[in-house]
Structure 1
Amino acid sequence: MPRQPLLTFTDRGICCPEGDFHIDPWRPVPRALITHGHSDHARPGHGAYLATEGSAPVIRYRLGDIRLGTIAYGERRRIGGVTVSFHPAGHVPGSAQIRVERAGEVWVVSGDYKVAGDGLSEPFEPVACHCFISECTFGLPVFRWKPQAELAADLNRWWAANAAEGRVSIVGAYALGKAQRLMASADPSIGPILTHGAVEATTAVLRAQGLALPATTHVTPGIDGKTHPGALVIAPPSALGTAWAHRIGPAAEAFASGWMALRGVRRRRGLAQGFVMSDHADWEGLNTAIRATGAERIFVTHGYTAIFRRWLEDQGYEAGIVATEYEGESLDAAEAEPGPLIEAGGEEEAGAVQGGDAPG
């Protein structure tokens, strides 16, 4: 009799029956293998967790007292009837693709990934496989990212111009990933760097792991544009346009996101400035990563799934869509919560573009 597929797709998440585990499940399961610490992939309620050594501290910070084991990149571990290993995804520090092997058959679950280096995350590592489960958050040709050095130059030029006009510069960015990329890109000679509490707390976790980042000051009562003139302020997107932002003083606001590649999105959000920055692969990155795996069979998850599947089929791949509850990179203004999930009860990143729908 034919053996069951190495991985199956269930209402709880991607399941490996022979290993008796799920990968990034969105409903409680006995054993979960986690690709990274963003809240749509690392959720509460599982019996036991396994993640990379680099992502474990953020997961513990968010989820509290959980049964969390760790694994090094490239370490092979036998679980039930399969062998698993974790490999760098380049998405955020500690993020991983998960390789699952059975009798020479190899599947890889990408989680979220990007192939361009950002100077902070471990560089993406192509993993040869027969079947690749790939995100496609930005699976349209319009999405093409600038090199990190050009992004840094754009950021610092905008910041310096605002400082010269007596304004602070507030940039909305996810607390895990883009916020730290902005810090690393900022030129501290222009002015001080201030942070929202959600950003500061997550950054403290990464600093404790040895991530080298410039000095920042947490925005607390009494810290504003008067005490720190010309500052760059990094905050969750949900803070833009709020009383918290207004209290800082006269400011220019911007949003760092891959969606800023769409001028209509920036216009609808009322932003004069948007930075096209993403921790997900762009169009070329997706295609480069998929080709590098050598896989003949591709499943795509969250993003422009229907369009990207048709593209892959036109390129000769056997392609399918996996319905998931992963959220990718959101345009919603509720991407960050003020502290650990167990205390705040919120989601760090919410909202999604699913199945080719236009972003809101």
Structure 2
Amino acid sequence: MRDGDNENSTAPVGRTDREVRRASAAQRQTLRRFLIELLIIVVLTIPIYICEFAVEPVRRGFFCDDESIRYPFQDNTVTPVMLGVLAGGLPFLTFVIVEYVSSMRAGELSSTVELLGWHLSAWYVELGRQLTYFGFGLLLTFDATEVGKYTIGRLRPHFMAVCQPQLNDGSLCSDLINLHRYVEDYECAGEGFTVADIRQARLSFPSGHSSIGFYSLLYTALYLQRKLTWRSSKLMRYFLQFVLIMLAWYTALSRVMDSWHHWSDVLTGSLLGIVGALLTAHYIAKLFRSPSFQDVSLGGTLRREDTSATLQEVCPSTPPPYCVNNSYNDDQYCTKV
């Protein structure tokens, strides 16, 4: 009896050990995945820092009589801080509210998930997942924008007002001899402007405000299409989506209005942001993934039917092997065939 008791007592312990090992393996896999994705995020931020602090944009020449770069300098209507609020703060607030309300409606606010040894609310985990997808797409769009800016080095519409170029031969663009001259060797006097302002005057293509604004706000609108349901009003979701798109549209228009970008810069930046939002929502976040055939459960919804009666009805005219209890022998079956 004592040996039997020992065997019975060791069985649950064995199962517990297997469960512990399985949980430990799952934790290691989760940690590995987290570190890999963190490394990817870090790698994506490296080109941004390199472009901003270690690389000079391509130095392009210009015609002294080019009127497209002779606009006066104006301050930004949508400042970088405002862009950060629109492209970062507004989506973050939207994700938090929608995920919290969705979890509350489903009655899952108290449910927890164990992640890397921490017990977190399930809606925290879902919020983190959505923010990760959003941030990943944002970094991709930002990288593509920075590569375009520093590779092309297009001059902004207010370039002449900020740079105030002085040719190496001592002459100025205002001199008649330089009226139709293409200038490559020049220095910027930049009186009243900083070195950073002069550098920014050579980063017109594509528009970063347009690409970042359209990506963030369009992605948020797509997220609302998938996640938000408003029982009191069918039009509320579409109204919010319209507001988001109009904010992105106004941000893009302000870049031409303030003479910070040419219209083609804004168009390209807007298309870049739109494509980035659509690709991220469809392929990365999978916001509009439809259930596959394997996800449909047939066993619990379809009722089995007894087909024996139907088979017996067709037996007199149907040769074997399709009918049961038939009176045909093999020779008769061959004759029938």
TM-score calculated relative to the size of structure 1: 0.23
Bigger relative contact order, structure 1 or 2, given CA contacts below 8 A and separation 6+? Answer: 2
Which has more strand, going by share of residues? 1
TM-score calculated relative to the size of structure 2: 0.24
